[in-house]
Structure 1
Amino acid sequence: MKFIISTTLMLLSLISFSQEQEVYKLSLEDAIERALDSSYVAVNAKRDQLKALKQKWETTADGLPQISAGIDYEYNPKLIVTPLPGEIVGGEPGTIVPVTFGTEQNMRATATLNQLIFDGSYIVALKAAKTFLEYSKNANDKTRLEVRQSAINAYANALLVESSVEVLKQNEMTVKENLDETQRTFEEGLAEQEEVEQLQITYQQISNSLRNSQRNLDLSKQTLSMVLGIPVDAKLVLTDNLENLAMKQLADFDLIEQQLEVEENIDYKIANNLVKQRQLEWQLEKSKFLPTLTAFANYGTTTFGNEFVFLDSSQQWFQFSTVGVSLNIPIFSSLKRAKRSQRAEIALMQAETDLKESVEQIKLEFNQAKSDYNFALENYQTAQANLDLAERIERKNITKYKEGLSTSFELRQAQLQLYNAQNSYLESMLQLINSKTSLETILNSPNISN
């Protein structure tokens, strides 16, 4: 019995320990760092960049020596019969004599070396591989910027819901106190039933909102877990505070004054990469008008016989070798190469137009993001001032209600005004954080290097 109890306690302690291991205490910076390192999107983006590096070496290898080897074995149950004039083999002149050549079994071992000497498309391919590697790096940087933005948005949203739960709890407690006090006053005959019912409506609405916010808090943390690349059933403890994060956004005055450098924007870099790729594709098509020159060398050994005796040490093998060059000159393709080159040139012009459009789009997005950030700053300050006013109005109405100088309807209106001010204040902080993040993303200002 003691053994069973001790075993059970040990298992329970192990379960408790495993559960403790799944608790993640994260500040916003911790969340960003984890997302950049472990999120599903960021991990695959790193792999895409690694694939591009392998592809660059793959392209380079095409111009390096290529060595291959092979072993061929042939068995001829029926040898080919060749007709020959009779006088050649000692027969009657004018007759045809059937003759078989060869042996029933043959084996050959060959080694081949091929070396590219000149190929215009190979030179272009080397440049294209380098450009593609640059593109994959920029694509990875763009992904990391987006992952950072998603992590900030998800973290701030979870803090918003968390703060909303705390505010609703406080509001519920305040309304419950007013409701209980009004209920006692009603029972003493000093208040009307309508006053109790007004407060009951307010209390029920707040209670419903609180329960819904508590459910949303779990969902918002699960969403954050997905963004960070950790199990959604893990427990998250957010160590930052929404109000403190909002205050940090106010302190960054340099961001408002920072000017846009289009060349530093990640979307511009990617669009410019596309132009370079189209240029190289055009060069590739033009390079197909040039000849190609390759060198080759073969070395092998062969043996034959009517029986399989090739593994015997006494079997005689005959060696052979070949060295040469191959020149391929394109002469006429019925204008196929010319049209492909023209099509590639049109694609290049399209990419250049897309680049110009990207520049203007980036400028527009920057102006919009800057305007949104300025509005978020103003809205935050207004919401903060409105909240202070709404809190004072509610406190005055509670005092007046207790003193019998106002009705429960007037108190309810003041409370609803306070709740709206509280929601607006929380939303303004989230808007401030998210708008600043969007502006930073366009400016490519955060440090998201690997």
Structure 2
Amino acid sequence: MQKRIIRCVLFALFLCFGVTAQEQRLSKEGAVAMMLERNFGVRIAQNNVKVAENNKSILNSGFLPTVTANANANYQRDDSTFEFPGQFITDENGNQVPRPDTELYKAEAQRYGAGISSNYILFDGLGRLYDYKRLKEEYNLTELQARETIETTMLQLFTVYFEVARLTENIAVLKETYDNTQNRLQRAGYSFEYGQTNKLDVLNAEVDLVNDSINLINEKQLLRNTQRDLNVLLNEDLSQLYNVDTTIVFTNPIILEEFLEVGEQNNIRMLQAEKNITINDYILKSGKSVLLPTVGLTGFYGWNLNQNAPGAFFPGVNVNNTRNFGLGATLTWNIFDGGNGITQIKNAKVLLDSQEILEQQIKQEVRRDIANAEGNYKNRLQIYRLQEQNVSTATVNYTRSNEQYKLGQITSVELRQAQLNLLNAKTSKNLAKYNAKLAELQLLQLTGQLLNVAL
């Protein structure tokens, strides 16, 4: 019975997880590189930056002149008969005879023309200048938004990455627990065969072995699911399963303290709020341009060729070739537009004031978020240190309990309890370790340093 249970458990484990050797290792740096290159959200954010870069170009500024070229060509052919009723001419004999009809066959007329014109605004009340500056600030804002997307996606990435690492370490702990239970079952079996113990120890060990194998199977399945979640963030084929780095290095406390001192200024939300204020200020200044005149220059050059067909009274071909050139200046001053411009200026002032109020709100929220994140990080780091001590204590307790069990001083139930205490201590330590690291990453994001430190 005992051997059959062991064989069934081992066979189930082999069927479910015989592909472990096919997994590839993925470092933290490699995961970040793949995310930056493949993640859908990051790619969209990068495209938004490209659009903003195009918008801030001098080609979209209004500072360049407009140039328009045109050309035309026209061909006409006529077959005409001209009649002269009531008109007489003198023939060669001196007699008055009716004037004969005149026919024009294939009378051709051609017209060609080409021209080029240019318009340039010398002064528009400084509207385009502030619009150009606004477009540059909007580009900077888009870069900040892309950075925020990258930081948020990176936190999502490492939340899943560290979950894969935690489950990997948990599986190692569960495997160790399974091996210890298997050894206890074999030892109990030998003791029962030699009459040293009763059947109860064997039965308890068999039940514990099945429970350990179930826990191991469930944890491995959870690992596979989490690995697929990681693939989604990396835009990787779901059949590709990665092993990850389980090493955790915390940021030097001195360096972290320096980050906290300038955290408010480097916070991504604060930087965006400042950009929005600048953009709205330029919108207000641009809106005031409607109160000033607009001065522009115009220029044109043209060429025309007209070749007229012969007529009844002008039998020869008439050719007219002309060229023209001109320059001009315009001044436009919209003295009163019904109040639309003034209304827009007033609204722009209100929107600017709203952005300044919003900045104060964001500043308060950022201060709170940084303080909370700092407290969470210190708390979780302290819990992790305590869990490390707990693992040491539970390890010593299990080692002594195992020795006492071999000497018959404690029961298998008491040994199992010590074993479960060690298992819980190790898995709790794994959870505390990655929770502390994630809390640190959240703190680094809030202080604007997530992309500037080694992970």
Question: What TM-score does the superposition give when structure 2 sets the normalisation length?
Answer: 0.76
The answer (yes or no) to whether the contact 1:291–1:328 under 8 Å persists in 2 is yes
Match of 2:147 in 1: 141
Distance 1:171 1:251 in 2: 35
What is the CA–CA distance in structure 2 between the aligned matches of 1:289 and 1:76, rounded to whole Å? 52
Q: In structure 2, which of residues 408, 412, 423 is the aligned counterpart of residue 404 of structure 1?
A: 408
Name the amino acid aligned to 1:224.
Answer: L
Which among 406, 418, 424 is matched to residue 422 of structure 2?
418
Once the two structures are superposed, residues 357-407 of structure 1 have per-residue CA deviations (whole angstroms, 9 ceiling, x without a partner) of 111111111111111111121111111111112222223333333333333
Pairs within 5 Å for 1:34-433 = 34-58=34-58, 60-72=60-72, 108-119=113-124, 120-186=126-192, 190-238=196-244, 240=245, 242=246, 244-245=247-248, 248-249=249-250, 251-256=252-257, 258-261=259-262, 262-303=264-305, 317-433=321-437
Counterpart of 1:310 in structure 2 is: none
Question: Unpaired segments of 5 or more residues in structure 2?
Answer: 1-21, 78-107, 310-317
Rounded to whole Å, the distance in 2 between the matches of 1:250 and 1:328 is 63
Cα gap change, 1:76/1:35 in structure 2, threshold over 3 Å: closer, same or farther?
Answer: same
Q: Bigger CA drift: 128-137 or 175-184?
A: 175-184
Distance 1:289 1:24, change over 3 A: farther
How far apart, CA to CA, are the structure 2 residues paired with 1:148 and 1:252? Answer: 22
How big is each residue's C-alpha offset from its partner over 1:225-245, in whole Å with a ceiling of 9 and x where there is no partner? 44345444335343x3x3x41
**How far is 1:151 from its partner?**
3.9
Aligned to 2:68, the other structure's residue is in SS state: strand
What CA deviation, in whole Å up to 9, does each residue of 1:281-331 have, x standing for no partner?
A: 222222222222222222223455789xxxxxx975533344322322222
> Does structure 2 conserve the Cα–Cα contact (< 8 Å) formed by 1:373 and 1:439?
yes
Any unmatched runs of 5+ in structure 1?
A: 1-21, 78-102, 308-313
Partners in 2 of 1:214 and 1:24 — Cα distance? 16
Cα gap change, 1:373 to 1:28, in 2 (>3 Å)? same
Letter in 1 for 2:51: K
Contact 2:151 2:451 in 1 (8 A): no
1:121-176 CA distance string (max 9 Å, x none): 21111110221122123223333333443443333222212111211111111111
Higher Rg of the two aligned structures: 2
> Conserved in 2, the CA contact under 8 Å of 1:36 and 1:147?
no
Question: Hey, what's the Cα distance between the residues in 2 that align with 1:294 and 1:366?
Answer: 53
Q: CA deviation at 1:184?
A: 4.2
TM-aligned CA distance change 1:232 to 1:300, over 3 Å:
farther
* RMSD of aligned residue pairs (Cα, Å): 3.2
Helix, strand or coil at the partner of 1:259: helix
> What amino acid sits opposite 2:130 in the alignment?
V
CA offsets, 1:189-219, max 9 Å, x none?
A: 5545544443333322321222222223333
The superposition leaves residues 43-91 of structure 1 with CA deviations (integer Å, 9 ceiling, x where unpaired) of 44333323222211155552112212123467999xxxxxxxxxxxxxx
The aligned counterpart of 1:31 is 31
Fraction of identical pairs, as percent: 20
State the distance in 2 between where 1:216 and 1:210 align. Answer: 10
For residue 260 of structure 1, what is the amino acid of its counterpart?
A: E
Q: Partners in 2 of 1:74 and 1:195 — Cα distance? A: 110
After superposition, the Cα gap between the structure-2 partners of 1:178 and 1:306, relative to the gap in structure 1 and judged at 3 Å, is farther
Residues 231 and 237 of structure 2 are in contact (CA less than 8 Å); yes or no, is this contact kept in structure 1?
Answer: yes
Within 1, Cα distance between the matches of 2:23 and 2:173? Answer: 25
The DSSP-based 3-state class of the residue aligned with 1:62 is coil
Deviates more, 1:358-367 or 1:36-45: 36-45
Q: Secondary structure at the match of 2:57?
A: helix
CA distance in 1, matches of 2:182, 2:232: 37
The one-letter code of the counterpart of 2:421 is: Q
Q: 2:446 is matched with which residue?
A: 442
Distance, in Å, in 2 between the alignment partners of 1:76 and 1:198 is 110
Query: What is the TM-score with the length of structure 1 in the denominator?
Result: 0.77
Letter in 2 for 1:285: G
> Would you say how many aligned residue pairs link Structure 1 and Structure 2?
392
Q: What secondary structure, in the 3-state scheme, does the structure 2 residue paired with 1:360 have? A: helix
